[in-house]
């Protein structure tokens, strides 16, 4: 078994608001292996974005990582625990952008409107030069530019020499996202975090971008953490799926297991409630009762129990189920499968 590129162990991120404590991420664990795409899926308030921010150490106050570890495996060095690094320290800045890159949700917001997209990529290349090219002479401006043009070509941007000088607002949504991907991949990161990268673009463009990501991932062997709420996209992209709800992992497993043999009531209900082009139309969709509680009003015990059709009275409301195996590579946190394994409060 290869060493995972990223190991998240029992991560806890809490937000200390005036109104109360919000446990945005409350004990999340998963591994990402080299070349693997791990999809984190969940609805609003599940903590997937906060998890992503914690990995990059960009959680804003009043939020703070209060527990757990995020072990990142650099090439040959021992794994470094990202939670122990201060958010502004040089070591972390060296990792961000070069070893762990981010494809954000809204590419328009992520690009500076007063610099050309090429300039921003060149900046990233030069900043992290010593990481992707440890030896050799320093990068010249023309070298950096031609590298950027090549990058653009490899992500499928037509007329790359002209597009390098374009501004982000001159490009269409699809092109912007491709440029964003180019920027993320410029320093050959070991881990790519894609935060809802296709939510803001059209379906046909989305298909192209997902294709591109799959292709690039195969070619470079980059591990990807793919965050989305769209189960269709997860089914297409991920090898391994983590289903989150209200800050905890409900279930995780290979994509086939999650979609064809879901064990957790939440996963099952979620899959049933999606309208799909393959489902008979105009019938009532099976829904999950109730709605997602406010983060300040998290239920005690298992976070899903008030809405769970299979909740066990007296058990699910009292204790929090631990994440335990329910199959060879599948884990679920549900008392239906492990009556005795609760999380210590």
Partner 1 sequence: MSATPWLLDVRHLRKSFPIRRGWNRKVVGAVAAVDDVSFTIREGETLGLVGESGCGKTTTARCILRAMTPTSGEILFRAADGRVVDLAPLSRAALRPLRPQIQMIFQDPFSSLDPRMSVGDIVGEPLRVHGIARGKDRTARVAALFERVGLRKAQMANYPHQFSGGQRQRIGIARALATEPRLVVADEPVSALDVSVQAQVLNLLLELRTRLHLTLLFVAHDLAVVKHISDRVAVMYVGQLVELATAEAIFRHPRHPYTAALMRAVPVPDPQAPSGDVALAGEVANPANPPAGCYFHPRCPFVTEVCRIEPPALREIATGHLVRCHRAEELILSGVGAEPARGTHGVVDSLGHDGRTV
Partner 2 sequence: MSVLASATPVTAEDRVSVASNWRLVWWRFRKHRLALVSALVLLALYVVVLCPDFFSTQDPEATEARLAFIPVQRLRVFEGRHASPWVPDVVGKRNPTTLRMEWRVDESRKIPVRFFVTGYPYHLLGIVPTRIHLLGAAAADGRDRLHLLGTDRLGRDQWSRLVHGTRTSMTIGLTAVTFSVVLGVLLGGISGYYGGAADAVIQRLIELLQSLPTIPIWLALTAALPRDWSPQQVFFAITVILSLVGWTTLGREVRGRFLALREEDFVLAAELAGASRRRIIVRHMVPTFLSHIIATSTLAIPAMIINETSLSFLGLGIRPPAISWGVLLQEAQNIQTVALAPWLLVPGAVVILSVLAFNLVGDGLRDAADPYSQ
CB of 182 to partner 1, least distance (A): 17
Q: Name the residues that contact partner 1, by CB under 8 A.
A: 43-44, 172-175, 202-208, 210-211, 214, 229-236, 255-256, 259-260, 269-271, 273-282, 284-288, 291-292, 294
Residue placing its CB nearer to partner 2 in the complex, 20 or 327: 20
Q: Among partner 2, partner 1, none, what binds residue 34 when CB lies within 5 to 8 Å by partner kind?
A: none
CB of 291 to partner 2, least distance (A): 6
Residue placing its CB nearer to partner 1 in the complex, 214 or 220: 214
Among residues 28, 6, 7, 17, the alpha carbon closest in space to that of 246 is found at 28
CB of 170 to partner 1, least distance (A): 12
Residue 16 backbone phi and psi in degrees, to 5:
-100, 85
- Round to whole Å and give the CA distance between 88 and 90: 7
**Binder of partner 2 out of 294, 313, 340, 344 (CB under 8 A):** 294
Ordered DSSP codes for 240-278? EEEEEETTEEEEEEEHHHHHHS--SHHHHHHHHTS--TT
- Round to whole Å and give the CA distance between 266 and 181: 32
- Round to whole Å and give the CA distance between 216 and 223: 11
Does 62 sit behind a cis peptide bond, omega within 30 degrees of 0 on the bond before it?
yes
Residue placing its CB nearer to partner 1 in the complex, 86 or 291: 291
CB of 298 to partner 2, least distance (A): 11
Residue placing its CB nearer to partner 2 in the complex, 15 or 226: 15
Answer yes or no whether residue 291 interacts with partner 2 by CB under 8 A.
Answer: yes
Q: Among partner 2, partner 1, none, what binds residue 175 when CB lies within 5 to 8 Å by partner kind?
A: partner 1
- Round to whole Å and give the CA distance between 242 and 6: 14
- Say how many Å lie between the first and final Cα of the chain, rounded: 33
Among residues 94, 88, 166, the alpha carbon closest in space to that of 124 is found at 94
Residue placing its CB nearer to partner 1 in the complex, 281 or 345: 281
Using DSSP's 3-state secondary structure scheme, residue 139 falls into coil
Contact (CB, 8 A) for 319 and 343: yes
Q: Among partner 2, partner 1, none, what binds residue 309 when CB lies within 5 to 8 Å by partner kind?
A: none
CB of 144 to partner 2, least distance (A): 40
The total of other beta-carbon atoms located within 10 Å of residue 135's CB is: 5
295 to 324: interface string for partner 2, x by CB under 8 A: xxx---------------------------
Answer yes or no whether residue 76 interacts with partner 2 by CB under 8 A.
Answer: no
Q: Which residues bind partner 2 (CB under 8 A)?
A: 17-20, 22, 44, 290-297
């Amino acid at each position: 078994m290869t060493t995972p590129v990223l190991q998240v162990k029992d991560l806890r991120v809490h937000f200390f608001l005036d109104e109360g404590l919000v446990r945005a991420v409350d004990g999340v664990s998963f591994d990402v292996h080299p070349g693997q795409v791990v999809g984190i899926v969940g609805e609003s308030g599940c903590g997937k974005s906060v998890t992503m921010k914690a990995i990059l150490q960009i959680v804003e106050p009043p939020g703070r990582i209060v527990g757990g570890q995020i072990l990142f495996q650099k090439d040959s060095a021992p794994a470094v625990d990202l939670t122990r690094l201060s958010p502004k320290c040089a070591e972390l800045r060296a990792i961000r952008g070069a070893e762990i890159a981010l494809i954000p949700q809204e590419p328009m917001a992520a690009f500076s409107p007063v610099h050309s997209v090429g300039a921003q990529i060149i900046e990233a290349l030069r900043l992290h030069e010593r990481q992707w090219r440890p030896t050799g002479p320093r990068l010249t401006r023309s070298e950096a530019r031609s590298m950027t043009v090549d990058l653009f070509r490899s992500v499928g941007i037509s007329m790359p020499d002209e597009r390098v000088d374009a501004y982000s607002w001159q490009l269409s949504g699809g092109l912007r996202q491709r440029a964003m991907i180019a920027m993320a991949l410029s320093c050959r990161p070991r881990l790519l975090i894609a935060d809802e990268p296709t939510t803001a673009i059209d379906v046909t463009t989305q298909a192209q971008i997902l294709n591109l990501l799959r292709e690039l991932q195969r070619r470079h062997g980059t591990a990807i953490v793919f965050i989305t709420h769209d189960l269709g996209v997860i089914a297409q992209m991920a090898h391994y799926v983590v289903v989150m709800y209200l800050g905890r992992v409900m279930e995780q497993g290979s994509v086939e297991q999650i979609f064809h043999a879901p064990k957790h009531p939440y996963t099952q209900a979620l899959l049933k409630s999606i309208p799909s082009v393959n489902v008979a139309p105009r019938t009532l969709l099976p829904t999950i009762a109730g709605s997602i509680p406010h983060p300040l009003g998290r239920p005690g015990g298992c976070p899903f129990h008030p809405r769970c059709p299979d909740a066990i009275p007296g058990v699910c409301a009292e204790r929090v189920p631990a994440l335990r195996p329910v199959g060879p590579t599948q884990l679920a946190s549900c008392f239906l499968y492990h009556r005795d394994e609760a999380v210590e409060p």
